[in-house]
Structure 1
Amino acid sequence: MSRITITGTGVVSPAGWGVPALREFLAAGKPVEPEFLERTTAGGEVVRTPIAKVPALTDRSLLPKSPRLRRASSVGKFSAAAVLEALGQEKFDSVVRGELRLGVICSMMNGCVNYSNRFYGEVLADPKVASPILFPETVYNAPASHISAVTNSTAPNDTIIGDGAEFFIALDLAAEWLGRGDCDAVVIVAPEEADWLSAEALGYYDSRMLAAEGAAAVLLERDGDGPQLLAVPDGVSYALEPDRGKAFARLWSELDVDADALWVDGRNGVPRLDAAEESVHWSGPRVSTRKLLGEAMGASAAIQFVAAVDALEQGAADQAVVTSVGGNQGVGGCVLQRR
């Protein structure tokens, strides 16, 4: 029976561009320094919202060379950079030449908000000057479209929308594609970009939540040279179990985790929201990336996953578990095993 393995990872986060920057940041254990987004209300009031932003890109070689990315907003560029790192230049070129069939799955919650804000703002202000060039960038599947276009991929491409646990559904879908032979490899990318509306909206959950941006990508192949995706149990929907604590307990019982595994959890520092994951008695090593990097919505669980894979590859653990308690749909998780 074939194994689903993780053969590459990539990440763009408030820690910087690339997996090494994330590794160094998490090892330091110091929370990110927030910046501020500002907007002026109709009444003239200036609203300042803290946010964890991705540092400016200084090395253009981290992005694929393509005219398709010239007009892409941050979410598209974050995606492309994370995917290029996950693939590596050799596999990237192999996909472009048609030698490797690459499936693309984009998982997100908030999506292409910057250009949507700009385009619809122009429409409302004066429809005659609204830029049609911006419109294709307003739809959810823009980042996935860019990835397939830049890599010249004609394999399956899908964008799935959900909450902070949607990434695990993407993992399950990728395993299904690989199992059917629809493609040779699948890259999952989960991107989000900074926006005042979503940043302020998170504050309604709790004023201590720090909105963040970034993207993470994982490359999955059958029987590859990398950590194994050992288990991705079906997520527990709040439609079936509305109590988050009980929903998480059901998921946890299906994960079958070793006692000394590394747990990369989804806690963000807000007790009410962390309660479900806090309810598990755990004495093994534990990392909470959202406490340090902020809440990047659909990208956060993927960043957790990349951190777990990197820990396995660095020899910090033989097994890792990644979990996330979604905001409105359900909970999800997976178990990874070092090769």
Structure 2
Amino acid sequence: MSRIVVLGTGAVTPAGWGISAMMETIDAQRAVEQTVLERPTDQGASITTPVAKVPKLTDRSLLPKSPRLRRASALGKYAAAAVFEAMGAERHQAARDGDLRVAVICTLMNGCVNYSNRFFGEVLTDPSVASPILFPETVYNAPSSHLSAVMGSSAPNDTIVGDGAEWFAGLELATEWLDRGDCDLCVVVATEEMDWLSAEAMGYYSSSLLPSEGAAAVVLGREGDGPRLMSIPDPVSYAEVESPVDAMARLWRNLGADDNGRTLWADGRNGVARTDQAEDLPWHGPRISTREFLGEAMGASAAIQTVAALEWLRTGRAERAVVTAVGGNEAVGGAVFDAP
């Protein structure tokens, strides 16, 4: 593949706003604090679900200033903050001034569920008072649309909806755009927000899963200094193989991961034996499982794993990083990065 460089990273997680808070939690191997999501029922009772939520934003400088973000849903703000951190103030301003063509790719699984819940709740209660202002915030493409608007970008913009491994499809698409010269830089961001429906649905898979939320972003380019994206094989679809275990085995061969003691494996294990089975492979080098500390953030988790792995490379703790994720119903994906 051609030279693709990671020029910046950003993250918003239940550990806090920014990469430093996330890495502090991961390095300490300390699980984030849980809160309770409560849903009243028609019978007057309530259903409670333990979750890991992003803390309230107290430093407004972490978000770019834009009227587009005033009504943005939580996942839109998470995405904007992660991208703003990844871009840095200088690149962000260059994009605003038209000196950089910045493309945007957003990958997600659950989408803008809170505003969807609110809007369609109003429709069901009384269609005559349902707010049309909310409707644009219910569509999957809302976060990526906001990002391009905030940066004043007319470069390509796309949203990819899929399972927890769709992040790697976003990275793969970004390399195509950069190779074709469609943009100078490409931001790839994955973002999710918490709601009662997805949180309770996770309980059907396992009561041990901790529903989570957040966002993570990388800025990719062809010039500059930073970790390099060395390999991103096509995700292995479950339509091609019999099981996630078989899919992971094929992906692992395609990744060519070298367990030499200096390669980090940032896997997608979340502590649930049944879902972790596909990544239950022998590994003697360093290994991190970010979901065990930050919770299961659906489409955003693989991006969070990637950003954590890139921090290991940036700080010299590893020479190479392998990142993998086992999607729930579509595919298994992964990528390999080298230190700067």
Instruction: Show CA shifts across 1:289-317 (max 9, x none).
Output: 00000000000000000000011001110
Q: 2:276 aligns with which of 274, 277, 280?
A: 274
The AA in structure 1 aligned to 2:172 is D
Offset from partner CA, 1:110-129 (integer Å, 9 cap, x none): 01000000000000000011
Q: Is the 8 A contact 1:144 1:158 kept in 2?
A: yes
Specify the alignment match of 2:264 in structure 1.
262
Q: How does 1:235-314 map to 2 (within 5 A)?
A: 235-259=235-259, 260=261, 261-278=263-280, 280-314=281-315
CA distance in 1, matches of 2:185, 2:305: 21
Q: Deviations over 1:98-153 (max 9, x none)?
A: 10000000000001000000000000000011011101000000000000001000
SS at match of 1:295: coil
Structure 1: which amino acid aligns with 2:306? F
Which residue number in structure 1 is paired with residue 40 of structure 2?
40
Contact 1:11 1:215 (8 Å CA) reproduced = yes
RMSD (Å) for aligned C-alpha atoms: 0.8
Gaps of 5+ in 1: none
Structure-2 residue corresponding to 1:24: 24
Q: TM-score, normalised by structure 1?
A: 0.99
**What residue identity is the alignment partner of 2:274?**
R
Is the partner of 1:202 in helix, strand or coil? helix
Size of the aligned set, in residue pairs, is 338
SS of alignment partner, residue 148 of structure 2: helix
Q: What SS does structure 2 have at the residue aligned with 1:335?
A: strand
Give the letter aligned to residue 323 of structure 1: T
Offset at residue 2 of structure 1 (A):
4.1
What's the counterpart of residue 330 of structure 1?
331
Q: Stretches of 4+ moved more than 4 A in 1?
A: none
CA distance, structure 1, for counterparts of residue 314 and residue 258 of structure 2? 18
Q: Name the structure 2 match of 1:176.
A: 176
Query: Could you tell me the percent identity over the aligned residues?
Result: 64
Q: Does structure 2 conserve the Cα–Cα contact (< 8 Å) formed by 1:4 and 1:175?
A: yes
The gaps in structure 2 that reach 5 residues or longer are none
TM-score when normalising by structure 2: 0.98
Q: Report the residue type matching 1:10 in the other structure.
A: G
Q: Tell me, yes or no, if structure 1 residue 134 matches structure 2 residue 134.
A: yes
Match runs of 1:203-218 below 5 Å: 203-218=203-218
SS of match in other structure, 1:262: strand
* Distance in 2 between residues matched to 1:97 and 1:289, nearest whole Å: 37
User: Is 1:80 aligned to residue 91 of structure 2?
Assistant: no
22-31 or 301-310, larger mean C-alpha shift = 22-31
Letter in 2 for 1:132: P
CA drift at 1:327? 0.2
User: C-alpha displacement at 1:258, in angstroms?
Assistant: 2.2
Please state how far the C-alpha of 1:223 moved relative to its aligned partner: 2.9
The C-alpha deviation readout for 1:212-234, integer Å capped at 9, x for no partner, is 00000100000321000000011
